Chains A and B, each alone.
Chain A
Amino acid sequence: MTAKKVAVLKGGGSLERTVSLRSGARAQAALHRLGHEVIPIDVGPELLAQLHETRPDAAFVAMHGRDGEDGTVQGLLETIGVPYTGSGPAACMRCTDKALAKYLMCEAGIPTPDFTSFKETAVKELGVAAALGDIEHLLGFPMVVKPASQGSALGVKFARSSEELPGAIVGALSYDRKVVIERYVPGRDLAVSVLDSIDESPPAPSAVALPVVEAIPREEDFYNYESRYEIGMTTFVCPAELPEETTARAQQLALEVYRLLGCHGVARVDLMLDERSDELFVLETNVVPGLTETSLLPLAADAAGIDFDELIERILASAFTR
């Protein structure tokens, strides 16, 4: 690729700000090594002014969570005509809203754990309390209660009984106006990253699934759901030690979800391998996967023989293949 002027969008005001700053810093370093001109932007009220002023050839989106992953920034970049990396606004919205993604997966026949979802208004104005019994009946305990649009572990609750469910719902609603309540699938945590191959012929670059990563919690603590996502509490294995057909199936599912949700450039699909039935379930899709030293995407790319700089170059290329 010829040298480009690239604005790296990082930070912002989401709960994943710190991780995003680290992702952004690593992307900047790689872009610099690749010979591009880098404009680092810690996203704030000056974002649009900065973009107008600097007129970059492309924006490298390294923002996780709110604004960066939910289509907000992508929509604005479309509006001002700055090409950007990764998925477009609609795909971002489909992935970031876990409820929408799960409904779409259900319609397409892609396995995802049974669930229900509602907004805070349903609690306030529609008397959702009267349906809690139905939810129990449908999903059984334990349940995982999550904010519909959060990427981090914050707000993810484990409800083991009817007594715990209301508190878990209110807790999750602190992070988002919508909540997803999901059947808990005990088993192995898997992640499959999907990357568009460098294909100079837009608009349809072909996507490939990278090797499967397994996240193994260091201390098996069934109820401490949150700690499973904390740095240092989990060991990552890539490629995951799985039967060949399970690996193939996980990669196949990831590609199907990637296409179904309309992702572009890169995404990471998280799955559970049910320990009882050996079935795979898709949990969610992240459109701006982390790029830090401990993130899963660089790990998977590395296992596929794609070093970090090449990974960044390929993500950057996605800005020009839309």
Chain B
Amino acid sequence: MKVRYLPVMRGQDDRRRGRPAAHELARYEALFAARTRGMKSSAMREMMALTERPDVISLAGGLPDTSTFAPELYAKLMARVAAESTARALQYGPTEGMAATVSCIVEVMASEDTLVDPSDVIVTTGGQQVIDLVCKALIDPGDVIVAEAPTYPGAVPTFSAYQADVEQIEMDADGMPIDALESTLDRLQAQGRRPKFIYTIPNFHNPAGVTMSLARRHRLVEVARERELLILEDNPYGLLRYEGEALPTLYSLDAAAAGRGGASDLVIYLGTFSKILSPGVRLGWAVAPRPVLEKLNLGKQGADLCSSPVTQMFVAAYFQERDANGQATWLQYVERLRDLYRTRRDAMLEALKEHLGGRASWTQPQGGLFVWATLEGGTDTTDLLARCEGVAFVPGRAAYVDGRSGSSSMRLNFAGVPDTDIREGIRRIGRTMGGDTGLLGTLTGRPIAAASATAAPAESDPASQTDERAPLADVVALPRRESQQPARRQRDL
């Protein structure tokens, strides 16, 4: 096949190499698909890029701690793949994934009490590809997706690229309130619109850190069945639970409700090896109803033909590893991660109480990687990030499709850095906030006591936070007007 490289880009008067911009730009502009208009590079992301420096403690990434994986084991497994399966590892693989990798997936899901038929699984290039393929299969421009508010920041550009109309439902400590979901669905129905799917992260939400309660899981599945709606269940962190009882996946609940031998017919399940093994292997998966699965498979053929056989075989080899007592190595590693991350989560929650107590509220994740903190008094976290020295976090706006809501919130990752860095990072955020709140207090004519760094740490239970929120909000809005009123009148005369 002969490939012609973008002949249309060349200007007719292209006398010099690299003849540039303007009119060629206009040509590119005319070539771009309408969907690229939704793809924007935001100033906030530029700023995030700036925080990727060694002197900055990053609580921003979605990173697990890969430094805990034993180098010898990595070397041994890769050597085994090389020695035993060179030709297969270096070859293309089947689009749906290699059988050996699919059985690892079945094993992971079984450990979350979710039984799946291997033929309902497709191996993908990270969980992220599932979001893309599901949109590719289901979304026409203007179609509705219902998501949580906040939602996974990495899903936002995907939804935008497919020109979806995203309805976000504000969560509480128990995840997405299903009555709010139902009102949204009713409202949409009144407009003659039907969402293509409901996107949810039921366990240890990214970025919100909350977990959907059992009652809501049941109700969500009921609602989906009543209204014949698809659910995209994004579950990267389910196995990273640090306390409390594991809750059933939506997939397993729907499968039970469907009663047709174990397969769900409304839930598309998204899983990944990124958080229980390594994001570097770029392997995730979807389990989906057969007709959807076929479309995902066709979409994947167009996207990348297959996920890397090299890393698929690495994963397969890893899952065969057993210790002297016959214990699965992968499960032991997950157990070690749980211990490590639990300690780090506790360090973060303590540091938040110490340094942000009374000035912010935050979620209490039972697992996963993230805490979602919301500042009192409407401080914009993008501005706070600019002012904070030596610490980075994700401003809440990244988790909202409109790019504006969530401006007082931030996502904090506790899994990627050691305890000492977590404490220092939170201390730096608290110190910077103190400066901001002090300024605001001065400008609004009433000093805000909580801004003082010496303020007693407040309990961070939801009740006491609600109590404190009201007076702080008033401070922002009210007092200065009184003191300015006379001055203005004088001028008006």
Contact = CB atoms under 8 A, between A and B. Distances in A.
A80 to B, nearest CB: 26
Interface in A163-213: 163, 165-167, 169-175
Contacts of A248: none
Nearest to A44: B53
Instruction: Name B's interface SS.
Output: helix
Interface stretch (B181-189, B253-261, B379-387): B379-387
Contacts of A14: 50
Interface stretch (B61-69, B72-80, B214-222, B439-447): B439-447
A132 B443 contact: yes
A76 interface: no
B22 A123 contact: no
B378 interface: yes
A4 interface: no
| Interface size grouping (class) on chain B | 35 or more
A152 B404 CA distance: 17
Interface of A: 13-19, 26, 29-30, 33, 120, 123-124, 127-130, 132-134, 136-137, 152-155, 162-163, 165-167, 169-175, 218, 224, 226-227, 229-233, 238, 293-294, 298-299, 301-303, 307-309
Contacts of A30: 18, 20
Contacts of B439: 120, 123-124, 169-170, 173
Contacts of B44: 154
B23 A302 contact: yes
B442 A299 contact: no
Contact of A129 (B22, B438, B445): B445
Contacts of A232: 36-37, 39-41
B383 A137 contact: no
B180 to A, nearest CB: 26
Interface in B403-454: 403-404, 436, 438-440, 442-445
Contacts of A299: 21-22, 25
Most A Cβ at <10 Å: residue of B23, B37, B386: B386
Instruction: Name A's interface SS.
Output: helix
Nearest to A230: B40
Interface string B194-219: 00000000000000000000000000
B488 interface: yes
Given A152-B46, A299-B21, A174 B41 contact: no
Nearest to B489: A133
Contact of B384 (A154, A174, A224, A226): A174
B436 A174 contact: yes
Interface in B211-249: none
A124 B47 CA distance: 27
A226 B19 CA distance: 32
A234 B320 CA distance: 54
Contacts of B37: 218, 232
A19 B476 contact: no
B141 to A, nearest CB: 16
21 contacts: A18-B46, A19-B46, A120-B439, A130-B484, A136-B488, A152-B43, A154-B386, A163-B476, A167-B379, A167-B440, A167-B476, A169-B443, A170-B379, A170-B436, A171-B380, A224-B404, A227-B40, A231-B41, A232-B41, A299-B25, A307-B19
Contacts of A224: 404
B133 to A, nearest CB: 24
Most B Cβ at <10 Å: residue of A29, A163, A169: A163
Given A124-B442, A170-B443, A293-B25, A33 B40 contact: no
Most A Cβ at <10 Å: residue of B20, B436, B438, B439: B20
4 smallest CB-CB distances across A and B, nearest first, come from: A308-B20, A302-B22, A133-B484, A174-B383
B383 A230 contact: no
A162 B487 CA distance: 14
Most B Cβ at <10 Å: residue of A33, A128, A133, A303: A133
A154 B43 CA distance: 6
B16 interface: yes
A23 to B, nearest CB: 12
Given A129-B442, A133-B484, A309-B16, A155 B21 contact: no
Interface string B482-493: 011001100100
B336 interface: no
Nearest to B481: A162
A231 B443 CA distance: 34
Interface in B378-398: 378-380, 382-384, 386-387
Contacts of A302: 20-23
